[in-house]
Structures are given as C-alpha cells and as structure tokens.
Amino acid sequence: MNLKISALEFIEEAKNGNISVEEFVSTTLERINSVDDKLHAFLSVNDNVIEQAHNIDKKIKSGEKVGDCFGMPISIKDNMCIKDTKTTCASKMLENFVAPYDATVISKLKKQDAIFIGKVNMDEFAMGLTTEFSAFGPSKNPWNIEHVPGGSSGGSAVSVSSYECIASLGSDTGGSVRNPASFCSTVGYKPTYGLISRFGLISYANSIEQIGPLTRTVKDTAFMLNLIAGVDPNDNTTVNNNNENYLENIDSGIEGKKIGIITEMVGDGIDPEVMTATKEAISKLEGLGATCEEVSLEMVKYSVAAYYTITATEAGSNLARYDNLRYGYEMPVEGYEFNSYISKARKKFGPEVTRRMIIGGFVPSAGHAGKYFLKAMKVKSKLTKEINEAFKKFDLLIAPTVPILPFKIGEKIDDPVSLFLVDINTVTANLTGKPAISIPFKIVNGLPIGIQLMANSMNDKMLLQAAHALEKSVTLPEVPI
Amino acid sequence: MTKIGLEIHCQLTNLESKLFCSCKANYREFEPNENICPVCAGMPGSLPRLNQEAVKKATIISMALNCSTPEKIAFFRKNYFYPDLPKNFQITQLNIYGDTSVGGSGIITVGDKKIRITRIQLEEDPGRLIYEGSSSKNQITLVDYNRAGTPLVEIVTEPDFETPKEVRDFLNILSDLLKNLGVADPSLEGAMRADANVSIEGGNKVEIKNIGSFHDLEKAAHFEITRQESLHDRDIAIVQETRHWDDRRKITVSSRSKEEDLDYRYFLEGDIPWVKINPEIKTELKSKMPESISSKKERYVTKYQIPEQVADVLSSDKFYSDLFEESHSESNAKEVANIITTELMGLEDTREKRESSKLTATHLKDLADAIQSGKVSRNSSKNALHEILKTGKTVSQIISELDLGNVSDESELLKIIEKIISDESEAVDQAKSNPQTINYLVGKVMQATKGKADPTLTLNLLKKQIGI
C-alpha cells in the first residue's frame, strides 16, 4: 500500500475502488507505529478508526453516497476540539481535558467522511516555533531528526511529511503553519483572516490567528479549503466567500502577474542558502511569465516587536480562564481561597507560556499601554496601510518563509529573542490579515527551504494558483524516513 | 453640597437568549449549572456569538434616555480574576478609545430636575456565588454559572443627585420606563441593581457597592451622607474608597479589597467585530418604540378625561396600562381606569397574585360596561372582580351566580322601601324637612339589598313614597 499519495490521488483511488480505505488507514496506523517513536508527531492516536474506514469501504462498494474525503486520514493539531477526545494544547494544564463539542472545522470534515487519525504535537498553547515547548516533549524533523521541525504546528508538518497521514490542520498565529511547513517541506497555508471558522480552536491571539491546512500539494490545500472555508454563525469574525471553489482553474498560472520582493525580508540575517533559493524561485516565477521587483515595507522591521506585544496581551487574557475550577487537572480546593488556589494551579503552565503571560500582564497595563500595547497597535495599522498600498501595485508578494535553515533541537531554546526573530517573514500576514502560503522549494544539505507568497485579502484563490505554478516548477527528493 | 451618582445594572430580562450564546436569558428556573453551554461556561475554544436583539434593545434604551447613539459600537475585555467569571474577563463596553458604547451622554427628567446620563453600555452578567458554612473556617463557596452571560445594560449617571429621595424617584421613573419599553422586568429578583458614589462638599468620592434593592440604596445613601458629614464636622478627612452596604446592620463598611487598584487591562474584543447601527436601523427602532409614559398620561387625560392622578398611576405601570389599552372603549375608559387603579392594583399587589389571576381584558371591559349600564352597582362590582380573579368565569355568569345583579325590579324594590319607611319614621320626617338627609335612607336600602339596588331608581322611588 503506497502511502505517499496526495489527498486528491487518494480520493480518486478510493472512489474507484482501486484501494481499500480500511487497508490504507491500517497501513497508516502501522506507519505511525513504526516511525512516530522517533518523530513524536502524535500526542494521541485514534485506534478506533478501522471500523469507520471499513464502513466507508462498504458504502463505496454499495454505491451509497460518501463524503468528499472518502475516509482520508487527517491529523489535527491538539488545539482544536473534537468531541469526547482529549484536547491538550500540549499543556499540563489541559492534560486530561476532553472536549465537550466539535470545532466547526471538525464537524465540517466529519460530514465529509474524513478520518481523524490522531491529535498532533505543538508548542504549548501554540506559543513557539520549534515544537520544543510542548509539555510532552519535542517533535523531530523527519529530514534530520536532530533538527527542529518548526512550530508551533510541528506535529502537523511532521505527520504530513513523513506519511503518517495525508493532510493535517494546524493553526497560524505568526507563522505556526507556514514555518513548520517550510522546515518539513510540506505546503502550509494561512488564509485571509476570517475565511475559516475559529470556533473550537483554542485561542492564543484571536485577533490574528487562523486555522490552516498542511498538505503534500497546493491542490490538496485548495481541496481542504473548499471543505472548511466560509461563514460560520458560531464565529462572528468569519467572512462570506460565496462558496468559492478554490480548485477550479488552479492551473491558471501566473503569466502577467506582478510580484513584489519584500526588501526587509531578504536582507540582513538571512542564510546564504535561503537567499540563493529565494533568487532561484524569483527567476522561476519570471520564467513562468511573472514580473518581479523589490518593494519596501518599512514597518516590517517593527513587526516582530509589535507581534509579540499584541499576542502576549491577547494570550494573557485568553489563557486567564485556565484557573482549574471548571476543568483541568486534579487539585483539591480545600484550604485555599480563590487567588492562592489559582496561582498554585496555574503553575502547570510551561516556561514559554508563563513568559508570554507575564509580558501580557505588563504591556497593556495602565501606565504602560501607551508605550507598548498601543504603539504595537499603531505598527499593526501602519503595516496594514503599507501592505495595502503595495497590493495596489503588485498581485503577490514574495519572501522566503523562514530566513534560516532548520536548526538543531536545543540550539535556540535558551535565547528567546533570537528565536522570536525567526518569525520576521511570517508575522506580517497575521498582523495584516492577508493570506500567505509556504511552498516546498528546495532541499539543501538535506534540509528543506520553503518559499512564501502573500496576496491581498480574499485573493486566496489567485494565491493558490500562483503557488501551484511555482510548485509545479520544482521536483524535490523524498523524505529520508 | 451633596453629590450622588449612580451605576445601574439592568438585565434585559425580556430577551430569549443570553448575550453570546443560545442559553436562556431567563436563568431563574434552572437547577444550578444547568443553563450553560461551552460559550457561557468559557470552555476552551468557544467564541462569543453576539445576540443582535440585545444590541437593539440596548439601543432602544439609549434612545429612550435621550442618549447619543454612535454609528458603530465595539466591545472590550475587562480582565480580572474572579470565580464567578468563567473566562476571567468580562466582555463589556467603554468609551476610552472614542464613543463606542451603545449609548453616549443623555438626559432624563425627574420632576423639574434634569439628571445627566454619562453613558450606557451593554455587557455580560457574571455567574453567582453562593456561600455555605457557618464560620469562615468551614465556609465553602459554590458557583452557579446559570446567570453567566445574561445580557446586562449598565446606565451610568453624572453625580447630579443631591438627596437620597431624588435617587429613589429617579430609580422609580427609570424602572417604569424600562418596563414600559418592553426590555426588562425590573421587579424580578436581581434584575436591577445599583451602585452609588456619594460625596459631600469638600470631601472625596466614596463608592458604595453590594446594594440589594432600591429601598436599601436610598438608605445607604442616607447613611453615607450622615457618616461623611459627621467626619467632616470633626475635621476628619473623608478618604476616597469603596464601601460595601451591610444589609444586616444597614450601614456601609469599608471594603479592604483592593478593587480600586485593579488594572483591568481593557482592550478590544477581537472575537466580536464592530457592530454598525446605521440610521435606518435607528429610525426603524424608533418607530417601533412603545409610546412613552408621559405621552400615555397626556392622552388619558385629554382624550378620556381621566383624572390626572389616576392617569399618572395608570400610565407608569406597563402591565396595567397594557391591560387598559386592551379593555377600554371610547365610552368606558374612565370606568376601566377607575376599576384598575382603585380595585385591581390592590388585589394584585404581588407578582404571584398577578400570575395566578384569571382576569382578562374582556372581563374588565364587560365589568365596566355592566357598571355603566346599571347591571351591577359599583359596590357589587368589587365582589365580582374578586370572583373573576379567582375563577375566570364571565362577568354575566358571575353576576347571576352570585346574585350580584342590581335590583331594578320596581315592585321588589318598592316592598323593601316601604318596610324601611315604616321602620325609620324619624329619618323620614327629617328627610321631609331637610331633603338632603334622604341619603341616609338610600344607604339603608342599599344595606338591605346588599348594595344591589339601582341607586337612581332607589332615590326616585324613595322621594315618591315620602312625597318630596
């Protein structure tokens, strides 16, 4: 059984009865069994999926209507609620939390006969970009297990790139889908803010984050988007996409498109290998009929500082509910009054989450908000103005997804500031609400490099067309695991 | 000069669902923690889903209090840890970053005094804490989230009150107004609460919280003014602080909590986009707004010649003015108003009595008509009303069953009158010399007929028999 097929290939084969869904799913479980000890992509594996797969096979055989996913095995980042399933956010605080309801993306995929093969690892509460901040241990990069897989949706990227599932859902607050996608050589997509419902996604910085698919191909991403995008009455921030079909005309190419190369994202601090790859990508795009020229977004140099200020503020508020009163872990209340109880209970948060919550208590506080939080909000609005201006001239913007190659586990964990700076190329899309995608482009010294394309709000379809064109122009080696 | 300002919290009790989910706004009939869902219980991953009806109701209140209403409103997070707050932040509104609250400054008239409204905000009510255990050592706190997320409107006034009496009058007017608008039933337990800030000339502002009823609010303000004045007389500085109303001892007590020092880290609630309230919506809401109390009163007086005092009582009570509108006709309006204000309001003076009453508008209309056509005396109508409330039988049924019909049969009445004339010869003589005293004899006839004799007929027959 070949697990190395795309979602669309799987569906075609399953639909035509060429492969048995049950066999595919059980082979996938075997694959997880054999490689995940090394990779640690999964926090929990759903062993009860065989029966579900069996029933889908039966339905296919008898000609009954089957959902669009045909039993495709999907992994889900462990910050999205699946009813009656543990949803831990890779945190000791929620180690035993069983979600009482389905996230909107989950109920949509359930209806389409997707199989949730397991919940995957992440940085605790999605705060981090290496998956090292998981309370349950780091995931490993399948291209070289000494290296980080990126994060925070590290488990998603690892599970897709090492054939432990066909596709995954991650969440992207400052690059958390695109960064691990780039580090693990998968497609990773952050849609326009509001395109996918966040209902059931455990909030970290709700005003800028989105759920996004990680897949083997851009077409698979378009397919997933067709299933999960659109207005949700449970999420007031969702936007109407008029039931757009993102797969339709995906082959449109990029001839005549104007692409801006963001000066601030290809300058200081970029690895030479990454720079070379970026230049190659630009010339490929030009070869396909696009015109590329540099454009400066001056606010980008403040974007990381603004990003961490805003996200810490929102995190401080979003994570306040974890007081262990209504759910959480076993800790008797006798002998405590409220404040002493919660300060003790909340000690289960890991170091990175604690750090950001402390910052989040400070930067928006009276007397400091003007210097930090409000200033960050100003950067956000200026950056948005700037990028909107750029999109008057350009259809797309290009930059490497991450300015450096995947680094070794432990290499940067004690230096939060240098770690923060790795986000420089991804946070702009979040702060401005624009769609962005990371496309696998090159393997250098056995380590992947991804290229990022960005488009204006609600131009997701055009962005996917361009990404597909770039993807088709390269052939990449297979993951060595 | 004494200055008192108020912060009034009023639940929008007439809404079907909570402010951000579809749980019931009426949480009162549930067992603890049964009226909750992932949203109002603040479960991980849940998002607020704004109840648009609540925005409309809050806008109506703002317009009725003559407040400015902005084009766009926003919600903010007020961050603080408290066990009754499932998310450990409250979604509320404020105006520090521009006028984004549902209502801006406005004015409400109390007698001949104008009270300025600072702002009106829409927010969620927290849950409820229930303390159990006899001593502080074994005390446990139970949390009930049924109330969490209930839509609440906070009305903030300028410190324009000078006496506790003015505060009380204002709250009565406000309460009637909210009821009349059909947005809330302030008489429900906990539906309307208020905090007060009180200061006297030369002193600091003191906030009083935890006041359970309007009656206590007046008392608390009284107490606080007296306390501050006595400090002032002794040259002791009045410190700016928050005090709690001790319901048992009826005094205010300094709260040692550091509430004043709390930093709420207000910032925009990103999960709820700005809500546009465009002029068309406002026009529509205005057109659907119920007639105001003052205009109702005016109409009752001029159109039906209902006495001013009766019209005042009737118009300020939503329940009874609605009943009046339903049951009155051009001809019986005065009679209906009379029955309601002099009889019915007394008979149905509690919620329970009102709810168990079987009276309908048709009953009232029929009863008023029966009085006017002389079928039943005003006196007997009281008995009829009692019976209606109890049984809900029709007016004509009750009149015949209880034999309340006026004795208007001349021969029957004549027999009674003849007997009274022979029994009361002294009074008859007196009436002959002083016709005004005939009323005594009329009273005797009424007594004998248990009030059922037609008064006009009785008088005429009496005069005829006595010969005056």
With 70 as the cut, is the pLDDT of residue B408 above it? no
**Closest partner CB to B49 (pick from A79, A80, A236):** A236
CA distance, residue A431 to nearest chain B CA (Å)? 13
Rounded CA-CA distance B89/B266 in Å is: 10
pLDDT at site B257: 58
Superfamily for domain range A7-251+458-472:
Amidase signature (AS) domain (3.90.1300.10)
The bridge status of strand A396-400 relative to strand A258-262 is parallel
CB A114 within 8 A of CB A72: yes
Interface size A-B, in CB pairs within 8 Å, comes to 102
- Considering only CB atoms, B44 lies closest to which of A202, A313, A364, namely A202
Note whether B43 contacts A80, CB cutoff 8 Å. Answer: no
The percent of residues in chain A predicted with pLDDT above 70, rounded, is: 100
Q: What ipTM was assigned to the predicted interfaces of this complex?
A: 0.96
Q: What is the pLDDT of residues A291-348, one digit of tens each?
A: 999 999 999 999 999 999 999 999 999 999 999 999 999 999 888 888 999 999 999 9
Residue of B nearest to A79 (CA): B45
Give the mean model confidence (pLDDT) for residues B140-165: 95
Q: What is residue B468's predicted lDDT score, i.e. its pLDDT?
A: 77
Residue in chain B nearest A86 by alpha carbon? B44
Read off the pLDDT of residues B230-243 as tens digits, 9 standing for 90 and up. 999 999 999 888 99
Chain B partners within 8 Å of A97 (Cβ) = 44
In this predicted model, what pLDDT tens digit does every residue of B386-400 receive, in sequence order?
Answer: 889 999 999 888 888
| Spacing of C-alpha A262 from chain mean position | 22
Helices in A229-298 by DSSP H: which ranges?
272-287
Residue-wise pLDDT tens digits, B322-352: 999 999 988 899 999 999 999 999 888 888 8
Kindly report the number of other CB atoms within 10 A of residue A294's CB atom: 10
List residues of A whose CB lies inside 8 A of any B CB.
79-81, 87, 89, 94, 97, 99-101, 103, 198-203, 206-208, 233-237, 313-314, 316-317, 320-323, 325-327, 338-339, 342, 361, 364-366, 369, 373
**Residues whose CB falls within 8 Å of the CB of residue B13, separated by 6 or more in sequence, listed in order:** B25, B26, B184, B185, B188, B191
Backbone φ and ψ of A341, nearest 5°:
-65, -50
Counting Cα atoms < 13 Å in the Cβ hemisphere of A362 gives 8
Higher-pLDDT residue of B251 and B377 is B251
User: Phi and psi at residue B374, in whole multiples of 5°?
Assistant: 80, 10
Token pair belonging to B21: 């989910």
**Between β-strands B3-11 and B192-199, what pairing exists: parallel, antiparallel or unpaired?**
antiparallel
CA distance A126 to chain B (A): 13
The beta-carbon neighbor of B41 closest among A87, A200, A326 is A326
For the record, the structure tokens of A404 come out as: 């450096």
The continuous run of DSSP H or E covering A301 comes out as helix A300-318
Phi-psi category of residue A195: left, alpha or beta, with phi > 0 → left and psi -120 to 50 → alpha: alpha
- Residue A243's CB is within 10 A of a number of other CB atoms, namely 9
- Our CA-based measurement puts residue B85 at a distance from the nearest CA of chain A, in whole angstroms, of 9
Q: Do A81 and B48 touch (CB under 8 A)?
A: no
Annotated domain spans of chain B: 3-282, 291-401, 410-466
Best of A199, A209, A238, A381 to mutate (most B CBs within 10 Å, chain B): A199
Are A266 and A278 in contact by the 8 Å Cβ rule? The answer is yes
Instruction: Determine the Cα–Cα distance for residues A236 and A269; give it in Å rounded to an integer.
Output: 39
Provide the total of helices (H) and of strands (E) in chain B, helices listed first. 17, 15
CA dist., res. A66 & res. A69, Å (int): 8
Count of CB atoms within 10 A of residue A378's CB? 13
Mean pLDDT score, A13-41: 97
- Going by CATH, does the domain composed of B410-466 fall within 1.10.10.410? yes
Q: Which helix or strand (DSSP H or E) is residue A397 part of?
A: strand A396-400
Count CB neighbours of B137 within 10 A: 6
If we measure between CA atoms, which residue out of A235, A212, A232 comes closest to residue A224? A212
Contacts of A349 in chain B (CB under 8 A): none
What is the H or E stretch that residue A215 is in?
strand A210-215
Contacts B44 to A, Cβ<8 Å = 81, 87, 89, 94, 97, 99, 202, 321-322, 327
Residues of A serving a catalytic function are 77, 152, 176
Please tell me the predicted confidence (pLDDT) of residue B452.
77
CB-neighbour burial class of residue A184 (10 A; exposed 0-12, middle 13-18, buried 19+): buried
Cis, bond preceding B377 (omega within 30 deg of 0): no
8 A C-beta contact, residue B301 and residue B311? yes
The first and second tokens of residue B81, run together, are 């840890």
Cα dihedral B9, B11, B17, B22 sign: positive
User: Are A434 and A172 within 8 A, CB to CB?
Assistant: no
